[in-house]
Amino acid sequence: MHLNRRSRIALRLAMALGLAVLYVPLLVVLLNSFNASRSFAWPPTGFSLRWWQAAWQEPGLRTALWTSVRAGLGATAVALVLGTMAAFAATRYRFFGRQAVSFLLILPIALPGIVTGIALNAAFRTVLTPLGIGFGLFTVIVGHATFCIVVVFNNVSARLRRLPGSGEDASADLGAHTFQTFWYITLPAVRGALFAGALLAFALSFDEIVVTTFTAGPGTQTLPLWIFDNLARPNQGPVVDVVASALIVLSALPVWLAHRMSAP
Amino acid sequence: MPGQMRTVASTITNENGFYLVSGVSSARRMLGIYVVMTVTLSGVSKKFGAVRAVDGVDLEIRSGEFFSMLGPSGSGKTTVLRLIAGFEEPTTGTVQLAGRDVTRLPPFDRDVNTVFQDYALFPHLSVRQNVEYGLRVKRVAKAERISRAEQALATVHLEGFANRSPAALSGGQRQRVALARALVNRPSVLLLDEPLGALDLKLRLEMQSELKQIQREARITFVFVTHDQDEALTMSDRVAVFNAGRIEQVGTPAEVYERPATPFVAGFVGTSNLVEGETAAKILGSHGSYSVRPEKIRILPPGTAARGDEVAAPGRIADVVYAGAQTRFLVDLEAGGRLTALRQNRDEDGDEALRHRGAGVVLAWRRTHTVELTQAN
Ligand SMILES: Nc1ncnc2c1ncn2[C@@H]1O[C@H](COP(=O)(O)OP(=O)(O)OP(=O)(O)O)[C@@H](O)[C@H]1O
Ligand SMILES: [Mg+2]
């Protein structure tokens, strides 16, 4: 493509601006976490690791992080099992109402989180509370699973639709029973989609706040809930910056990995 | 079982009887065990929605024979193969293997293996793992698995390729892997869906003779789908000609070629002249539909009297088509209609042949080479 000098400059400026909008706020947070001053003073007055140390010693933060990891892993596990099975049913078997089931499965991701939250809250209250199961980690996992299933379902069914059925036919032809075919042939073919779906599901669960608010009991605090709580508190601002910085690095890692794996 | 008894009888009265009987291994003969595996379809139909893919097919395939299913695209060949393998259930009718009704059995409970048209190799497994797959899922011990896989790869001349990925193979090599993967299970019946369709002509001819040799040595019943009539004629013991979900004729290649039963078979297997109506009445002395192969027709100078056992028809050469080894003469008959006569270019070259255009001739052929056709039902 041929561009004249002026449009080339304009294009570069636009790109720089775009990147700036995306990354300057992140950079500010990163720098702030090493800021020696207490009160977001700008420019930073000096370099210090005291906030990182403070964050490390904050017991509420550690508990919240651990809760979030468990909620994320739990929701992802549920989503992997149910989402994969649903994807199989919807792509490999013909049954009455197949289209409707696919639609109903995808719907929750489009519903506002607050609607899902209210609905789940009401449902748990009427179903689980009489059984003696209170609000806590379990209800958070179930809540998160509602949208995590969709992610896995979408990824896996997209892959299955592009996978020719002849591999599964060949496997059955060679004497493999249904489960063997699934284990040896289909699963390896959808492994990438499962991995991507799991990563996305975990990420969604990890930063979810609206549904969590309605499904977590008073004693259960995930990391986003903790951040939300502490942002407004005096003296906790820099610690929140530390958490945010850690999350930036942690989430950049899988994205970078996925990017590298999909590059030729 | 009645099905099996009938099979044995038909095997022995078959004109290829010598080959079929000698096809039972000497070890089995000594033990007195005749394993006669057949495929029997009775009144099989398969509908997909409103489409009748297979429409009332009766078929008996004999043990150890090379059986081809020939027909145009969409005539139901693949569907019949899938019904035998168990990927589809017939809408009506039954499928028997070795006299046992398998109509409702899934593919993994049937003693047949398939070589798919697109090969359907497992992309994430190596060539060796592909070939071993059938043994692995049947929990055959590792040592035996390895030796049988090696043997199967040797059969298809792919000894050095065991550790490659299927993606790193040529089309012909993939085809051989697919064959080895099926053969390693020692099935009684091997189903092949246009296995040579994707290969170029030279490789195709090579693989044709290799397949035939493997079939003879392994003594496996081959059910071979093709839409290439030359392939069907040269390789098969018997051929079934399919048209629109039905079988028009089953017979040896010579029967199907020399004595086509219907106009469709006459036109689809080789080229054929159709003589019917007034023309037939004038030349052959009776109304009806008849077929004459172009290569059976002699071209004689005008006024020549035909031999006693021959039919003769005067006419004029309307066109001459030179085709290398042969020349086709299109002759307009005085009795009406146009016939094609084929002549080997043994004495004449192309230019000489082309000069005959417009000349008067007499066409003559043996009465027995006139084949009466029945209209398709
Ligand atoms: N799964 C299916 N659903 C609907 N129609 C089908 C299905 N499979 C086959 N058909 C139809 O059944 C008919 C026979 O198809 P089939 O694949 O058996 O033909 P074929 O003889 O193998 O043709 P080809 O030489 O092109 O492979 C076709 O009209 C085809 O469109
Ligand atoms: Mg086909």
| A135 against B319, higher pLDDT | B319
Question: For residue A42, what pLDDT is reported?
Answer: 65
Give the integer Cα–Cα distance in Å for A141 and A153.
17
Whether the CB of B75 sits within 6 Å of ligand 1: yes
Q: Is the pTM of this model over 0.95?
A: no
DSSP A49: -
Question: For residue A91, what pLDDT is reported?
Answer: 84
DSSP B139: T
| Structure confidence by residue, pLDDT tens digits, A144-167 | 998 899 989 988 888 888 887 789
Mean pLDDT of chain A: 83
CA distances from B258 to A52, B152, B255, B354 (A): 93, 38, 5, 29
- Ligand closest to Cα of B79 equals 1
Q: What percent of chain A has pLDDT over 70?
A: 94
Give the integer Cα–Cα distance in Å for B326 and B348.
10
Cβ–Cβ contacts within 10 Å for residue A199, how many?
A: 17
The pair of three-digit structure tokens given for residue B338, joined into one six-digit string: 């146009």
| Structure confidence by residue, pLDDT tens digits, A191-233 | 888 888 888 888 888 888 888 888 887 888 888 888 888 877 7
Residue to probe by mutation, ligand 1, list B68, B78, B117, B246, most atoms within 8 Å of CB: B78
Neighbouring-strand partners of residue B314: B362
Nearest CA of chain A to the CA of B203: how many Å?
Answer: 24
Whether the CB of B288 sits within 6 Å of ligand 1: no
Question: For residue B32, what pLDDT is reported?
Answer: 43
pLDDT category, A258, cuts 50, 70, 90?
low
Give the integer Cα–Cα distance in Å for B321 and B314.
20
Question: For residue B3, what pLDDT is reported?
Answer: 39
Where do the domains of chain A lie, and which CATH numbers do they carry? 51-262 (1.10.3720.10)
Question: For residue B33, what pLDDT is reported?
Answer: 44
Q: For chain B, which residues score pLDDT lower than 50?
A: 1-35, 376-377
Question: For residue A41, what pLDDT is reported?
Answer: 61
Give the integer Cα–Cα distance in Å for A67 and B40.
64
Among A173, A175, A188, the residue with its CB nearest the CB of B138 is: A175
Question: For residue A261, what pLDDT is reported?
Answer: 62
Where do the domains of chain B lie, and which CATH numbers do they carry? 2-111+187-267 (3.40.50.300), 273-372 (2.40.50.100)
Give chain B's end-to-end CA distance (angstroms, integer).
32
Question: For residue A39, what pLDDT is reported?
Answer: 61
Interface predicted TM-score (ipTM) over 0.85: no
Dihedral angle over CA of B53, B56, B62, B63, nearest 10: 60
Nearest CA in chain B to A190: B124
